[in-house]
Amino acid sequence: MKQPPIALTIAGSDSGGGAGIQADLKTFAAHKVFGTSVVTALTAQNTSGVLGVHATPLHFLALQLDAVLSDLPPVAVKTGMLASPEVIAYLATRDLPNLVVDPVMVASTGKPLFTGAADAYRELFARALVVTPNLPETRELLDRDVATVEDMAAAAHELAALGPRCVVVKGGHLAGDAVDVVWHGGELSYLRGARVSTPNNHGTGCTFAAAVTAHLALGSSLPAALRAAKTYVTRALAGSADWRLGSGHGPLSWKEI
């Protein structure tokens, strides 16, 4: 078997298996990328909601990161739920290659996973290759309404001023087609996808960002990684549209690529 490249996810555990660390490692494996992980928090969570969050102490999070970086250096790194503003500020001090920041603040069920993150994220964004906020996160980060594709374009431009090389404002929460707006190299472009009609969208954002990270680890250029991740998440959504796992927002499928 060919030796796989290494990727790292720094994220929360989802006991329901659909989002967070579990979604990321599943997605890395589907891309034949070796996944390592730094767990930022345990969540007691299922398809209907979040029952509780137990954050990892910062010193132990740092120890996990040291353990991984010193022995299994990743080609690309993804962050998901970072559990506190202090963790976000700490990660902004670390050297993390090909950094994909998914600024997770709210579960897909609508419950905030933690608060006070928007300001802290501004520093981490400056270190990122790409940041991937969804619509509610974009509103939180900019403290204003963002509702249309035009609003998303203006928001992507504004977030790019914080320093990431690329911004993807994801349109999973739009009413029509699932259009994501990309700001990269001073230009706007769009990742377009037909909306898959499904209640099973728990972990969509994690899966998209993990697929971007996996493709970067495999050596893709950023534009190619974004296109491939969009195709992957659309196929994963379509593959589980008929699933009945849990009584709420069920998880996505995963696909060998």
Ligand X SMILES: Cc1ncc(COP(=O)(O)O)c(N)n1
| Site residues for ligand X per CB under 6 A | 11-12, 14, 19-20, 43, 45, 80-81, 104, 107-108, 202-206
Q: Which pair of structure tokens corresponds to residue 91?
A: 């990660």
Q: Which long-range contacts (CB under 8 A, 24 or more apart) does 112-117 make?
A: 113/12, 113/43, 113/50, 113/53, 113/81, 113/83, 114/53, 114/55, 114/81, 114/82, 114/83, 114/84, 116/84, 116/85, 117/82, 117/84, 117/85, 117/88
Residues 191-220: x where in contact with ligand ADP by CB under 6 A, - otherwise, as a string: --x-xx-x--x--xx--x------------
Q: Which pair of structure tokens corresponds to residue 68?
A: 């991984």
Q: Does 134 bind ligand ADP (CB under 6 A)?
A: yes
In angstroms and rounded to an integer, the radius of gyration of the C-alpha atoms of the chain is 17
Q: Does 139 bind ligand ADP (CB under 6 A)?
A: no
Write down the least CB distance from residue 10 to ligand ADP, Å. Answer: 16
Q: Does 170 bind ligand ADP (CB under 6 A)?
A: yes
β-pair type (166-169, 130-131): parallel
Q: Which is nearer to ligand ADP, 17 or 172 (CB)?
A: 172
Write down the least CB distance from residue 60 to ligand X, Å. Answer: 17
Q: Which is nearer to ligand X, 5 or 21 (CB)?
A: 21
Q: Which positions ≥6 away from 70 have C-beta within 8 Å?
A: none
Among 20, 172, 250, 251, interactor with ligand ADP by CB under 6 A: 172
Q: Which is nearer to ligand ADP, 35 or 172 (CB)?
A: 172
Alpha-carbon distance 130 to 154, whole Å? 17
Contact set with ligand ADP (CB under 6 A): 108, 134, 170-173, 178, 180, 193, 195-196, 198, 201, 204-205, 208, 230, 233-234, 237
